[in-house]
Amino acid sequence: MEERRQMPLIGDRFPEMEVETTKGKINLPGDYKGKWFLLFSHPADFTPVCTTEFYSFQKNYDKFRELNTELIGLSVDQVHSHLKWAEWIEENLGERIEFPIIADGMGRVANRLGLVHPANSSATVRAVFIVDPEGVIRAILYYPSELGRNVDEFLRMMKGFRVAEKERVAIPANWPANELIGDKVIVPPASSDAEIQQRNEAVEKGQIESYDWWLCYRKVD
């Protein structure tokens, strides 16, 4: 395996690299310019938790594509292992894996992204990178090997990113079922006395709602 380098962080551009996948060679992030992509690593092919995850990702693939988001799997298995595993999933579970899976047998990609735990260099950790249409990393999530990921949460995140960018707002906890404000979104906090006054006036006019000047919220279409 290659020498480990510092992993990229949220806000960094996703490292440029050519990867071998079950769909041929892909250049990241360039081949996905104009689209979001969600790259998720798994410890190994033919493992039970990973199999349930891949099945769930595929079942929801159309929902991701409706959100202009592509999926990319990754592990340090060889491409023939990926292909055989995908074949098993289709034959036994009835789902054809349509998204590419990166074959990283030498660990080059995993090491570049910080996906190999020092205690076990033979398997990638369970991680997710969400990358925007400009190739910038917007979220990084890690999970232990015994805990499968929640695909609904990734769909929620993609919807949240779209709303946040379009409306210039922030997304509350558990949105769109937040315990305080339901499916409404948070107006960015005021940063001056003048803005506080504007917020108070907007509340009086019914344009936004508020618990206080620093916690304002509103509906979105």
How far, in Å, CA of 110 to CA of 170, rounded? 32
Q: Is the pLDDT of residue 4 over 60?
A: no
Token pair in block for residue 71 = 């999926």
**Structural domain that includes position 181:** 168-218
* Segment 100-106 mean pLDDT: 93
Asked if pLDDT for residue 120 goes beyond 70, the answer is: no
- Domain end residue (candidates: 91, 114, 148): 148
The pLDDT assigned to 118 comes to 67
And the tokens for 5? 């380098």
**Cβ atoms of 49 and 57 closer than 8 Å:** no
Where does the pLDDT of residue 3 fall: very low under 50, low under 70, confident under 90, or very high at 90 and above? very low
What letter does residue 104 receive in the DSSP assignment?
-
Which pTM does this prediction carry?
0.92
Number of structural domains (the chain) is 2
The per-residue pLDDT for 123 is 75
Structure tokens at 201: 């006036």
Q: How far apart are CA 80 and CA 35, in angstroms?
A: 28
Beta bridge mates, 157: none
Which tokens go with 9? 């962080």
Q: Is the pLDDT of residue 93 over 70?
A: yes
pLDDT of residue 5: 53
Residue ending a domain, choose from 114, 148, 182: 148
Question: In terms of C-beta distances under 8 Å and separation of at least 24 residues, what long-range contacts does 49-56 make, across chains too?
Answer: 49/145, 49/146, 49/147, 49/148, 50/75, 51/85, 51/89, 51/93, 52/148, 53/148, 53/149, 53/151, 54/86, 54/89, 54/97, 55/89, 55/93, 55/95, 56/151
The candidate with the shortest Cα–Cα distance to 152, out of 65, 66, 57, 62, is: 57
Asked if residue 2 is part of any domain, the answer here is no
- CATH classification at residue 140: 3.40.30.10
pLDDT tens digits along 184-214: 999 998 889 999 999 999 999 999 999 998 9
Classify residue 155: in a domain, yes or no: no
For the chain, give the mean pLDDT.
93
Collapse the DSSP code of 163 into the 3-class scheme (helix H, G, I; strand E, B; otherwise coil) and give the result.
Answer: helix
Instruction: Mark whether 50 is an active-site residue.
Output: yes
Q: Please tell me the total number of residues recorded for the chain in this structure.
A: 221
CA 43, CA 146: separation in Å to the nearest integer?
10
Could you count the other beta carbons within 10 Å of the beta carbon of residue 43? Answer: 19
Q: What is the pLDDT of residue 1?
A: 42
Using one digit for the tens of pLDDT, what is the confidence trace for 47-79? 999 999 999 999 999 999 999 999 999 998 999
Which residue out of 19, 50, 71, 110 is catalytically annotated? 50
In a domain, 63, yes or no: yes
